[in-house]
């Protein structure tokens, strides 16, 4: 059984804060079933990565990097396009010296 989106986002923010990172909800989506995008900002290298929520064939939550770019503006443009497609979308930004995303589910490429 999946957690509601608002509860999952709250847990992500709490994990980040406990580890000394900063996490902020940039956009609130549907509390129960909104998809989540996490933008992980590495403050030491000044680079960002995006992680988008997806669901595997078994219905479990997993994470992919939908777009990779050295330019934050391209990542932000991707997020804005997704908001246009999905008005229930959540966007969370995590700032961390080590660039951690604090996602506990499977992440493709990690």
Domain boundaries, the chain: 5-96
Look up residue 8 and give its two tokens. Answer: 């999952």
| Burial status of residue 89 (CB atoms within 10 A of its CB: 0-12, 13-18, 19 or more) | buried
Say yes or no to pLDDT of 33 above 80.
Answer: yes
pLDDT at residue 58 in the model: 81
pLDDT at residue 94 in the model: 98
Which strands, in side-by-side order, build the sheet including 22-27? 22-27, 90-96, 36-42, 47-55, 61-64
Say yes or no to pLDDT of 1 above 70.
Answer: no
Say yes or no to pLDDT of 88 above 80.
Answer: yes
Question: How close are the terminal C-alpha atoms of the chain, in Å?
Answer: 24
Sign of CA dihedral 25, 2, 81, 46: positive
pTM for this model (two decimals): 0.91
pLDDT at residue 59 in the model: 76
Confidence of residue 74 (pLDDT cuts 50, 70, 90): very high
Better pLDDT: 106 or 67: 67
Kindly state the average pLDDT of the residues 77-103.
96
Q: Which CATH number fits domain 5-96: 3.40.50.880, 3.90.1150.10, 3.40.1530.20, 3.40.50.300?
A: 3.40.1530.20
Beta pairing class for 36-42 and 47-55: antiparallel
Place of tokens 């497609």: 85
Q: How far apart are CA 66 and CA 54, in angstroms?
A: 10
Percentage of the chain exceeding pLDDT 70: 97
Instruction: Report the run of H or E that residue 95 belongs to, with start and end.
Output: strand 90-96
């Amino acid at each position: 059984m999946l957690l509601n989106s608002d509860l999952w986002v709250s847990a992500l923010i709490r994990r980040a804060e406990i580890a000394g990172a900063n996490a902020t909800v940039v956009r609130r989506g549907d509390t129960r079933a909104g998809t989540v995008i996490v933008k992980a900002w590495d403050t030491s290298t000044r680079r960002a990565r995006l992680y988008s929520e997806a669901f595997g064939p078994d219905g479990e939550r997993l994470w992919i990097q939908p777009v990779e770019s050295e330019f934050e503006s391209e990542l932000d443009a991707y997020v804005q396009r997704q908001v246009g497609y999905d008005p229930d979308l959540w966007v969370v930004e995590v700032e961390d010296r080590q660039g951690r995303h604090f996602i506990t589910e499977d992440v493709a490429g990690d």
